[in-house]
Amino acid sequence: MAKRVLVVEDEPNITEAISFILSRAGWTVHTHADGATALDKLRRHPPDVVILDVMLPGRSGLDILSDIRADPGLGRLPVMMLTARGQDRDRDLALSLGASRYMTKPFANEEVLESVRALAGE
């Protein structure tokens, strides 16, 4: 059975690129663009891996990450933060909140695929 990834990203071109990369590699990709309702989507259909943008409409990806880590049903879910913000303090904050990985945009296709596979234990 294909592993599932949820991409929470509000930039359509980024969502499309990641979806293409991962679906071509056999992943089932679900997408969501609204930070305010992302946690509800995660709770309804927990994926194997989450790719979470830091800057989202409605709610910050960092706030969502904090809620994921505090949720007994989702707390161990691998989460890769994806952001245009590449400063050390941004990375340090995301990792201190429990991000499994931190990747900056722009990204290499192979880097995304390798990171998602590693997070899923492949």
Predicted confidence at residue 118, as pLDDT, reads 97
**Taking the domains of the chain in order of start, what are their residue ranges?**
4-119
pTM, two decimals, is: 0.96
Predicted confidence at residue 23, as pLDDT, reads 97
- What's the CATH number for 4-119? 3.40.50.2300
**Beta-bridge partner residues of 52:** 8, 81
| pLDDT value at 1 more than 80 | no
pLDDT single digits (tens) 50-68: 999 999 999 999 999 999 9
Mean pLDDT of 12-39: 97
| Burial of 111: CB neighbours in 10 Å, binned 0-12, 13-18, 19+ | exposed
| pLDDT value at 88 more than 90 | no
Cα–chain center distance at 79: 5
Tell me the CB-side half-sphere exposure of residue 114, using CA atoms within 13 A: 7
